[in-house]
Structure 1
Amino acid sequence: MQQQKTCPVVVIGGGPAGLTAAYELQKRSRRHTPKVYEASNMVGGISRTETNNGYRFDIGGHRFFTKVKEVEAMWHEVLKDDFITVPRLSRIYYREKFFDYPLKLFNALVNIGPYESMRILLSYFKWQVLPYRKEESFEQWVINRFGGRLYMHFFRSYTQKVWGINPKDIRADWAAQRIKNLSLFKAVWNAISGANDTASLIEEFQYPRLGPGMMWEKTQRIVEEQGGEVHLRSEVVRVNREGNRVTSIEVKHWHEDGREPVVERVEGEHFINSMALRELIYAFDPPPPPEVVEAASKLRYRDFLIVTLVLDHADPFKDNWIYIHSPEVKVGRIQNFRAWSKEMLPDQNTASIGMEYFCQKGDGLWNMSDEDLRTLASQELEQLDLAKASDVIGAAIIRQPKAYPVYDGEYRQALDVLEEWLVSLENFQTVGRNGLHRYNNQDHSMLSAMYAARNILGEKNDVWNVNVERSYHEEFEVDKKPAAQVKTALAAE
């Protein structure tokens, strides 16, 4: 084992949170030199942009919109003129029809028919008179605001597809975080009155012209140009501590040519983590108290894979993406990457279509061969009448473990135990989506990392309770025309 001299700040993970922490440190202090260790061969985490035969594609779509000024400032400091403005169009496919998304009330009611529309309204009034007194589950939270019928149509099936568990077993605080301040009454009132109490913030959005990975690839270069280090294929396998102070990490460096990995010990004064909490706790040496280890074992994650199909013609549909609620197919969301940026494609006479599947590592979908996944995705694209399977001329498959932290019945109590122990460490902070086990967007992850970096420089920020204004999450938006829009609980960035 090689011995390395002390590094002032060690950063675990090269996703948006880890790289933001490194960038923020260098921006605010010349004396702190970060070293970033990323287990995969690319920076960006689930915000990276993969490439296959010249076609660039996201691991899910990532719009760049925020009300957090310092996050927006960093985006533009890094990318400068490499942002483009993209008109936003997305829809929901349900019952062989397309519904505008965010849901426009009258469009949804026309599509679903007058009889069922009346049942939706009656159901809403019923639940306003006799609501659940305690909102413990996602299902209870949504029904109290939309009624049982609308929940059944636009929340239950898709939520089950995304998370793989009954919505009754998802905690209400996930719904409150992602879709707060919504109700059917508010949508109806705005549709009647033409009121617009929330600006339509994302009818268009900014996007790096070569995909979100462009942001993090350039951040990596800036960190390295300023004297920092970013190590890829470098898996943190142990976090060494003495009492309540972390002293070093042990990193397993993997070689592209298949040679035996080299293990290196890296010492530091401060440590910022963005790897998944469960694996982090397991990596501590000596281990945390038994109740902390037990709490970590209760955290669960939802995995994800994308089958990107290349078609022999451009733009089979005009949307940036489509949510697929229909239970007849396994695909959950479909991206049209040319509608995000034409520069994502080397040939403008083709299409690059991302078929996204939510799954668990080791299940039937995850273990399917690449060829079988290509066949499945091609057949489902045809089944949805978006393109023919015979139009497919190429494919690339990416499997992404731990894409989404799960908010099940055990997570909150377990997370409280982990937080209490982790904040007792003097020189160690954890940030980001998996580092906080919080289903937040890219900008929220970045802000938590900025706060951690500033804490090293003497501030007293609570990274566990970053207060991000949620109105930009499309919670409730109304066009200037009198057509209300309602956001359903769909997987986002």
Structure 2
Amino acid sequence: MNGPDRTALILGGGPAGLTAAYELQKLSRPDQTLRPVVFEADSLVGGISRTEHKDGYRFDIGGHRFFTKVPEVQAMWEEILGDDFLTRPRRSRIYYRGKFYDYPLKIFNALGNIGPYEAMRIMLSYGKWRVFPSKKEDNFEEWVMNRFGGRLYMHFFRSYTEKVWGISPKVIRADWAAQRIKNLSLSKAVWNALSSANDTTSLIEEFQYPRLGPGMMWEKTAERVEDNGGAVHLETRVGKVFREGNRVTGVEVTTNGETRIERGDHVISSLALDTLIGTFDPPPPPHVIEAARKLRYRDFLIVTLVLDHPDPFPDNWIYVHSPDVQVGRIQNFRAWSPEMLSDEATASIGMEYFCAENDALWSMEDDALTRLAAGELEQLGLAKAESVTGSFVIRQPKAYPVYDEHYQEAVDTIADWIKTLENFDTVGRNGLHRYNNQDHSMLSAMKAAENAFGADHDVWHINTERSYHEEFMRPEEEVEEVKKTRAG
């Protein structure tokens, strides 16, 4: 149906859901409109890109760089944020065996830390794997060793990967490495370090960032959606998704204990796939339900610490490879934006822990987590535990979709069934079970919005590399043309 007064139901108010809502309004015309109605279970929009706040301090749920070569995404960021979009320098390091390694690699820093003997062993190991590579590249370990050698893998990849995912790198699929590490290799890393050249996405030297954190982007987007006649319902949980044959007809939602049914002409979901499949009424075929049960996620919590003195380190973030502490990554929020802090004489530090929902770490009391984080900050030599004057704990379930040996077959099974629904798309990180960047989540939502107006994009196969490969880069005048088209 393409009448003038249609409704699109958007399940989830994170980057993908709100981008879909915003794009639906951009695409609407007087003779063909789709009014977006967004349902978000949390009290804040933004999903994992939201910005929490307490006592004037603002905290990310992990760090969120705004960097893309997709002009549609860049144009939307600039449309929404304008002068609130800052360009920030990137500085990050790796803590390993009691020393800090610059990241991206700086050749003299790396050699000084690791020593000439071990550096030679790394190069010999690299040469061995180049001459005798693993014939298979099915898992993370094989993929990394073929590009960096076994010795460097042992030093800088294995321990951190195990800490983040809680499973052996041999279980993680190689396509996760290919997606997250992109086109980096040891030879390219050394060349970058020697020449100061760098075109590898994960190692960019500066990025854009909203002055009040990534949540500012999504708070402003939600305001735009409502100002233009849409609706954003917070603290509203989706209980059921109703369908009649191959058409989705509406959803059951609950707000403040009151349950109601909302009808819609088109539905776009960013819910986690296992959750989504469990909401359908009538349910999907049994093999689809079984596939959803195989999907796994890694959960995340951050203990934010306010210190009685400014900036114990200058980095945006530090990766902690040491097995002696549980913390996996440490954020310095002032390095992202000075306006994340209410008092310039203090520091705001985010101690990030990767865990499983309801394990010992997840279930620990907030006070105990604060003591743990403060103690580990001191153990790493970054600040005294006694300098902590305040804290705030944020738990984030299903932060990262896991790429284990079962995930691809399960996702393919679910996707094949969802594609039979004629007025439904699923988008975003958890909606596609893809550990993607924010710009890819947004791009999937933009294509889903176009589908609602009659396009036929397969959002499951939007090229995750589109925004980084040279053949997809457009000249500056084309980027400006995209901005003009969107403004019109």
- Per the normalisation by structure 1, the TM-score is 0.91
- In the alignment, the residues of structure 2 paired with residue 235 and residue 328 of structure 1 have an alpha-carbon distance, to the nearest angstrom, of 40
> 1:26 corresponds to which residue?
25
> 1:170 corresponds to which residue?
172
> 1:356 corresponds to which residue?
352
Unaligned runs of 5+ in 1: 1-5, 255-260, 474-493
Q: 1:208 to 1:422 in 2, by over 3 A?
A: same
Bigger mean CA deviation after superposition, 66-75 or 237-246? 237-246
After TM superposition, give the deviation of residue 105 of structure 1 in Å: 4.0
Which of residues 86, 89, 104 is equivalent to 2:88?
86
Q: 1:187 to 1:398 in 2, by over 3 A?
A: closer
Bigger mean CA deviation after superposition, 117-126 or 17-26? 117-126
> 1:45 corresponds to which residue?
47
> 1:3 corresponds to which residue?
none
Bigger mean CA deviation after superposition, 72-81 or 196-205? 196-205
> 1:244 corresponds to which residue?
246
Unaligned runs of 5+ in 2: 470-488
Determine if the alignment matches structure 1 residue 11 to structure 2 residue 7.
no
Which of residues 56, 61, 64 is equivalent to 1:62?
64
Assess if the C-alpha contact under 8 Å between 2:183 and 2:200 holds in 1: no
Q: CA-to-partner distance for each residue in 1:52-84, whole Å, 9 max, x for gaps?
A: 111001000111110010000000101111111
- In the alignment, the residues of structure 1 paired with residue 204 and residue 134 of structure 2 have an alpha-carbon distance, to the nearest angstrom, of 33
> 1:316 corresponds to which residue?
312
What letter matches 1:127 in structure 2?
A: W
- In the alignment, the residues of structure 2 paired with residue 197 and residue 391 of structure 1 have an alpha-carbon distance, to the nearest angstrom, of 38
- In the alignment, the residues of structure 1 paired with residue 466 and residue 179 of structure 2 have an alpha-carbon distance, to the nearest angstrom, of 8
Which of residues 209, 212, 215 is equivalent to 1:210?
212
> 2:274 corresponds to which residue?
278
Assess if the C-alpha contact under 8 Å between 1:11 and 1:34 holds in 2: yes
**Which secondary structure state, in structure 2, belongs to the residue aligned with residue 326 of structure 1?**
coil
Listed as ranges, the matches of 1:165-244 within 5 Å are: 165-189=167-191, 194=195, 196=197, 198=199, 202-244=204-246
**Which secondary structure state, in structure 2, belongs to the residue aligned with residue 371 of structure 1?**
helix
The RMSD of aligned alpha carbons is 1.6
Which of residues 312, 330, 333 is equivalent to 2:329?
333
**Which secondary structure state, in structure 2, belongs to the residue aligned with residue 169 of structure 1?**
coil
- In the alignment, the residues of structure 2 paired with residue 45 and residue 277 of structure 1 have an alpha-carbon distance, to the nearest angstrom, of 15
> 2:455 corresponds to which residue?
459
Q: 1:102 to 1:381 in 2, by over 3 A?
A: same
Bigger mean CA deviation after superposition, 457-466 or 262-271? 457-466
Q: 1:39 to 1:471 in 2, by over 3 A?
A: closer
After TM superposition, give the deviation of residue 359 of structure 1 in Å: 0.3
Q: 1:167 to 1:226 in 2, by over 3 A?
A: same
> 1:372 corresponds to which residue?
368
Listed as ranges, the matches of 1:260-299 within 5 Å are: 261-299=257-295
After TM superposition, give the deviation of residue 185 of structure 1 in Å: 2.8
- In the alignment, the residues of structure 1 paired with residue 51 and residue 355 of structure 2 have an alpha-carbon distance, to the nearest angstrom, of 21
Listed as ranges, the matches of 1:393-412 within 5 Å are: 393-412=389-408
Assess if the C-alpha contact under 8 Å between 1:93 and 1:99 holds in 2: yes
- In the alignment, the residues of structure 1 paired with residue 311 and residue 375 of structure 2 have an alpha-carbon distance, to the nearest angstrom, of 18
Q: 1:462 to 1:94 in 2, by over 3 A?
A: same
Listed as ranges, the matches of 1:138-149 within 5 Å are: 138-149=140-151
**Which secondary structure state, in structure 2, belongs to the residue aligned with residue 467 of structure 1?**
coil
- In the alignment, the residues of structure 2 paired with residue 341 and residue 203 of structure 1 have an alpha-carbon distance, to the nearest angstrom, of 16
After TM superposition, give the deviation of residue 114 of structure 1 in Å: 1.3
> 2:485 corresponds to which residue?
none
- In the alignment, the residues of structure 1 paired with residue 192 and residue 86 of structure 2 have an alpha-carbon distance, to the nearest angstrom, of 32
- In the alignment, the residues of structure 1 paired with residue 133 and residue 325 of structure 2 have an alpha-carbon distance, to the nearest angstrom, of 33
- In the alignment, the residues of structure 2 paired with residue 163 and residue 105 of structure 1 have an alpha-carbon distance, to the nearest angstrom, of 29
- In the alignment, the residues of structure 2 paired with residue 199 and residue 155 of structure 1 have an alpha-carbon distance, to the nearest angstrom, of 18
After TM superposition, give the deviation of residue 199 of structure 1 in Å: 7.6
> 1:381 corresponds to which residue?
377
Q: CA-to-partner distance for each residue in 1:183-215, whole Å, 9 max, x for gaps?
A: 2233345556x4847388832211111000000
What is the identity percentage for the equivalent residue pairs of Structure 1 and Structure 2? 70
Q: 1:356 to 1:197 in 2, by over 3 A?
A: closer
- In the alignment, the residues of structure 1 paired with residue 226 and residue 11 of structure 2 have an alpha-carbon distance, to the nearest angstrom, of 16
